[in-house]
Structure 1
Amino acid sequence: MGAGSAPPVRLIHLLHPLRRRLRSMNRALRRCCLAFCLLALCALPAGAQEAPKTLRWVFSAAETGFDPAGVHDYYSNTIIEAIHETLLTYDYLARPAKLVPLTAAAMPEVSDDGLTWTIRLRPGIRFAPDPAFDGNPRELVAEDYAYSLKRLIDPRVRSAYAFLVEGKFVGLDELAAQVQKSGRFDYDARIPGIEAVDRHTLRLRLKQAEPNLIYLLAFTQTSALAREVVEKYADGSGRVMANPVGTGPFRLTRWVRGAKIVLEANPVYRGMTWNFTADGDPENAAIVRAMQGKRLPAIQRIEVAVMEEDQSRWLAFQNGELDVMNMDGPLAPRALDGERLKPELARRGVKLSRVVDPEIIYHYWQWNDPVVGGMGKAQIALRRAMAMAYDVAEEIRVVRNGQAVALEYPVPPGVAGHDPAYRSSVRKDLATANTLLDRYGYRKAADGWRRLPDGKPFAIRYASRPDSTGRLQEEMWKKAFDALAIRMESQKMPFPDLIKLEKQCRLQMRSAGWIADYPDGDNFMQLLYGPRSGQSNAGCVRMPEYDRLYEQSRRLPAGPERDRLYHRMTRLIEVYAPWRINLARVRNMLIQPQVIGYRKHPILHAEWLYMDIDNDKVAAR
């Protein structure tokens, strides 16, 4: 703090006893004494002042940007969640996940036929000050949400999440189709499906009932962006990847791409009081005792480092340079004995928050690729053989160090629609896999490697990140391919580059993951829906029967009727083998002693608003 700055609030409290004594003095003398005391307090050395509460976080892969409509990765969405706000969010401590209002004043009002949704915003919420608003804050209004929903389908933006709004809202698809004639998306056009009725009321009209629309209102990609911000900062694709301006608790103050991200508390954030219940959960009870009644955000600064190497993250945590980190499978033995912290970490006051992620890790083969893709019998046989050659149990043991659970169903545990009793027909079976390849013409040549049915040589290009997990997965697949006498080529590149090629349907094979955007099976079954190729459908798969069943399922709420459709769709995955369903990871979040209030949420990425830092423990380290 400089000499001309105001003294900290805590130091002002030291003047209160002096004020009582000075009341008996005349006014001039009182002013003189108070001024002297203030100058003395301001002259205190920097070490005597309150340091900003700083949370040090880490990403294991680089972010791609901060436009809700323009990104498609966990890391970028974590930052977006802290800066931008959706209409709804999730109760921080409720398990299973429970929706609650965020910028909405209450939960949506839904008509009896389920086709009209009315959402009323809380007045007085403001965007952070920005040059887009002439340096001032600006109130959040219903039109901001209407504009942001329309952006998802704007062909110029090319959002990977266009599927969130396609086919849902009356008039929206027709508005997007007009771009082919006019060359531009008309954001000023009024459509009945997405309408700002007044300054604080948003009305949505649906083409058909959408049981999962409620979850979309809490999904990061439906966050509010201000049109002024997009018009000022958009790049050539119409995206605002580097200048996020939101109404959330934090704002971006520094960004070194792929290295460091710094957020600071939004000065005009409305704030909230920590007020959650434990619901009988002992872990929650401890958090409630520590946090109840605190004004949020309690943390003033967040520093996110990007460290792709496991060893670098572990050393940084050991040295006190990180406050929270996930002990991925390769690192787990360093910190855990089975499912418990090692005694030396527990003695230091380190805590563990452990949860099975609501996710699916799977391997896909590119449907458009002439070697591995399509509905030809030979290609189906090749994919099925590769799926049968892979050993999921060995990956859990070797790559994940036991920190994962095998999946046999595409809807993971903790998500509506999961079936724990389902058993897949796909098992590791090298003998059957090799017999299948022989039968469909993949003969071995003199060099010992198989050829295509037309006699041409071939290899499978496996794409992965150049980190330790990527290397181990590559070794696992090399072992499987060797057992089939199929050549494998390695394609290594940084995570953002993999995502870019994936959206262009240009990766022949990759191990991919999808963590729940909302806790419903629809979020996972849509990953193989043909019209979402290049969006959420990473393998660009097109199976007509699957698409037909998915279109039926999306109109149904969770329940037995929808489960029957999901079972049929899962059998199609096993028969045509566009995927090898793999596992869900266990997330082991290590927490330093100074961190208060943290518990991993199954859906939220950035729990930072609900946490605190004990600076006395930081200083005592």
Structure 2
Amino acid sequence: MKQSFKYSMPSYALALLFGATLSVGTSYTQARSPANPNKVLRYAFPVAETGFDPVAVQDLYSAHILYSVFETLYTYDYLASPAKLVPNTAVALPEVSADGLTYTIRIKKGIYFSPDPVFKGKARELIAADYAYSFKRLLDPNLHSPNSWLFEGRISGMDSAIQQAAKNGKFNYDQPISGLQTPDRYTLVIRLKEPNYNFPMLLAHQPTGAVAREVIEHYRDKAGYAMGHPVGTGPYVLAQWTPGSRIILKANPDYRGYTWNFKATHPEDQKIVQQMQGKKMPQIGVVDIQVIEESQSGWLSFQKDGLDIFTLDGELPAQALKDGQLKPELVKKGIQLSRIADPSIDYLYWNIQNPVVGGFSKEKIALRRAMAMATSKEKFINILAKGNAKKLESPIPYGVTGHDPNYKSSIPYSVKAANLLLDRYNYKVGKDGWRMLPNGKPLVIEFMPSSSSARSMQMAELLKKELANIKVNMVSKPVPFAEGLKAEKQCKTMFKASAWIADYPDADNFMQLFYGNNIHATNHTCFKLPEYDRLYEQSLKLADSPERDLLYRKMSRLLEFYAPVQFMSTRYRTVVAQPRVIGYKKHPILPAEWMYIDMQDKQP
């Protein structure tokens, strides 16, 4: 999942039993939502959201809203560690055929979409066809979904429908698809072209949440998106939205609710169990979200009791923590700490389609490699993250299934070697002191910060100094976060910093970032190499194993050789909560925990 390049995040693994009926840790009831409207949780996003249509958005912050409004078939246990996949709107984990190709999923009865005028006063029940429609939307070529990679090339019979839609400009949603069937109102059958051991985890990712076809067709814009009118079956509804400024969620009064019954897997979670056991959920009636781009401003607001939960990034963990624990003055105030190692990567990348830094010729590879060699990961972590991160050697972060703790990158930090490499490939230094292209034209590297915030500008300044050590001239062209996302998908960047936090806790979610078929979706390097793609496609057919790990090592070495990317660090996530917050623990995958927690009444 795309994340803004702000610091606070590395790791863990997955326990997943196929074909087994697994308790969600919850028991659903037919009662209306028990949420208390006087319980208002105040929250902050460090960058602006982009919208609320599951097919259209990919950033972490919009995902908070998607997860609150729309429901996926599966989700993750709130307390289980390693992360455990559990049913959400599905009755149980999928029934999987012996050949690993057919998934049969039963939908729970009695789940309803939140009321909307488009339903004409009638209760609209969630059915299997809603998921079939939602999955087709992800693959509709006319919608250009950045999340199409989830199902692209995987579902039997879908390719011909996509090709036909690309030709005539319209996707036929009523066309039968052999690999996506609804034999009855509550049964969804998915037939894959090839086995994929990660497929159930894809069905827990926010973009696969169910939308109602009539809602989309009524409220969609010219691009086919319903960005400002999300209608789902989840515990919250969008009550107010001022783009880039404020979002207010209110408890969905018709949400079915559940009884909190999660089990502690770590001793420190016993307190949460004692606080929350048996409560009817959700308890929080209102979630009030502000966009606060400057981290210091957010921290000041939290300290003045203007926010209830706040993520510390940049220099803030150093201000609040000592030896990984809250400072005594914060403990005295009753402030709570949740600090986890996130499954995330921070990286620098060069657009392989860019005429200056792109291409596969030896001199272009040398240019990218030299810039990677001249960039210190230690400085990156110490200056930008204030030590709140670990050095990253490969595309697969710590603890994620497939991570190799012994892997070492073949690209060293060496300014001397970087200069020698540029000299060798005829990047001569001109009279102005900057290197030129081999053809004698000026070499100028354009870096695109995600915003004009102090944090982004600090990163740009650090990179400019690093590249100046090899006499490469870098200029910065900051753009708003949403515009940066758009430029990435259109392969219109040159040099950029990016970050990715796991959509699901497996190496595949990170290796797909460089898969050629994901250009214009998640592959912002616009890197397409047949050998890498072949190895990636082979890895999808394998469960976690030494054989699959070997493929990942080969793919990682290819990325180092062609140098479209330099992996920098993987972060810690440090979250603080006010004393009135009850039962909070940061989850490594779920983006919004407010449906699992409680808080003391804040009377009007």
Query: Structure 2 length as normaliser, TM-score?
Result: 0.93
Contact (CA 8 Å) 2:37, 2:284: kept in 1 or not? no
1:309-320 matched pairs, under 5 angstroms: 309-320=294-305
Match of 1:407 in 2: 392
Match of 2:168 in 1: 182
Match of 2:372 in 1: 387
Cα RMSD for the two superposed structures: 1.2
Match of 2:11 in 1: none
1:515-526 matched pairs, under 5 angstroms: 515-526=501-512
1:76 aligns with 2:62: yes
Match of 2:474 in 1: 488
Bigger relative contact order (CA 8 A; separation at least 6): 2
Rg bigger for which structure? 1
CA deviation map 1:347-388 (0-9, x unaligned) = 000011001210111000011011111101110000000000
**Matching residue's letter, 2:104:** T
1:1-80 matched pairs, under 5 angstroms: 52-80=38-66
- Report how far residue 283 of structure 1 moved: 2.1
Mapped to 1, the partners of 2:37 and 2:126 lie a distance apart of 32
Match of 2:326 in 1: 341
1:296 aligns with 2:267: no
Contact (CA 8 Å) 1:137, 1:268: kept in 2 or not? no
What are the ranges of 5 or more consecutive residues in structure 2 without an aligned counterpart?
1-35
1:272-283 matched pairs, under 5 angstroms: 272-279=258-265, 281-283=266-268
Find the partner of 1:551 among 537, 556, 569: 537
- Report how far residue 89 of structure 1 moved: 0.5
**Matching residue's letter, 2:476:** S
Residue 138 of structure 1 aligns to a residue whose secondary structure is coil
- Report how far residue 468 of structure 1 moved: 2.4
Distance 1:63 1:51, change over 3 A: closer
Residue 42 of structure 2 aligns to a residue whose secondary structure is strand
Match of 1:363 in 2: 348
- Report how far residue 192 of structure 1 moved: 1.3
Residue 114 of structure 2 aligns to a residue whose secondary structure is strand
Match of 2:428 in 1: 443
Quote the sequence identity (%): 51
CA deviation map 1:457-499 (0-9, x unaligned) = 1200011121222112111101111101111110111111111
Distance 1:136 1:261, change over 3 A: farther
Mapped to 1, the partners of 2:519 and 2:304 lie a distance apart of 44
1:268 aligns with 2:234: no
CA deviation map 1:201-222 (0-9, x unaligned) = 0000111111111101111111
Match of 1:33 in 2: none
Between Structure 1 and Structure 2, which shows a larger proportion of helix residues? 1
Residue 225 of structure 1 aligns to a residue whose secondary structure is coil
- Report how far residue 597 of structure 1 moved: 0.8
**Matching residue's letter, 1:116:** T
1:223 aligns with 2:174: no
**Matching residue's letter, 2:164:** Q
**Matching residue's letter, 2:436:** R
Match of 2:16 in 1: none
CA deviation map 1:226-245 (0-9, x unaligned) = 00110011011111110000
Find the partner of 1:233 among 208, 216, 219: 219
1:594 aligns with 2:554: no
Contact (CA 8 Å) 1:310, 1:468: kept in 2 or not? no
Match of 1:126 in 2: 112
Match of 1:323 in 2: 308
Residue 79 of structure 2 aligns to a residue whose secondary structure is coil
Contact (CA 8 Å) 1:130, 1:136: kept in 2 or not? no
Contact (CA 8 Å) 2:340, 2:574: kept in 1 or not? yes
Mapped to 1, the partners of 2:239 and 2:424 lie a distance apart of 61
- Larger mean CA deviation between 539-548 and 75-84 belongs to 539-548
**Matching residue's letter, 1:438:** D
Mapped to 1, the partners of 2:391 and 2:417 lie a distance apart of 22
Contact (CA 8 Å) 2:50, 2:482: kept in 1 or not? yes
Contact (CA 8 Å) 2:201, 2:504: kept in 1 or not? yes
Match of 2:150 in 1: 164
Contact (CA 8 Å) 1:358, 1:415: kept in 2 or not? yes
Mapped to 2, the partners of 1:332 and 1:136 lie a distance apart of 50
Residue 66 of structure 2 aligns to a residue whose secondary structure is helix
Residue 527 of structure 1 aligns to a residue whose secondary structure is helix
- Report how far residue 170 of structure 1 moved: 1.1
- Report how far residue 619 of structure 1 moved: 6.3
What are the ranges of 5 or more consecutive residues in structure 1 without an aligned counterpart?
1-49
Match of 1:428 in 2: 413
- Report how far residue 136 of structure 1 moved: 3.9
Mapped to 2, the partners of 1:604 and 1:240 lie a distance apart of 23
Query: Structure 1 length as normaliser, TM-score?
Result: 0.90
- Report how far residue 135 of structure 1 moved: 3.9
1:204 aligns with 2:172: no
- Report how far residue 282 of structure 1 moved: 2.2
Contact (CA 8 Å) 2:101, 2:191: kept in 1 or not? yes
After superposing on structure 2, the runs of 4+ consecutive aligned residues of structure 1 that deviate more than 2 Å are 180-183
Mapped to 2, the partners of 1:86 and 1:104 lie a distance apart of 8
Match of 1:350 in 2: 335
Contact (CA 8 Å) 2:282, 2:596: kept in 1 or not? yes
Mapped to 1, the partners of 2:122 and 2:358 lie a distance apart of 53
1:87 aligns with 2:73: yes
